[in-house]
Amino acid sequence: MPQLDTSTWFINIVSMILTLFIVFQLKISKHSYPMDPVAKTTKMAKRLTPWESKWTKIYSPLSLPQQ
């Protein structure tokens, strides 16, 4: 039974890995990435609610004077 000649396997595998690396590097370098996002200044519209238009105070039971 003939023996399998494995003497060329190493160079084939190394050349395949090198070729794949180069191909992927070329594909990645040709890819155009989107621009960096820029912060947009937004102006918040102030809404007046009934409790903002007048002064209010909530009394906690612990802050009331002792009776």
0.85 exceeded by pTM: no
Predicted confidence at residue 15, as pLDDT, reads 97
First to last CA, the chain: 109
pLDDT tier for residue 38 given thresholds of 50, 70 and 90: confident
**Which residue in the block uniquely carries the two structure tokens 């007046």?**
48
- Mean pLDDT of the 34-56 span: 71
Domain boundaries, the chain: 6-59
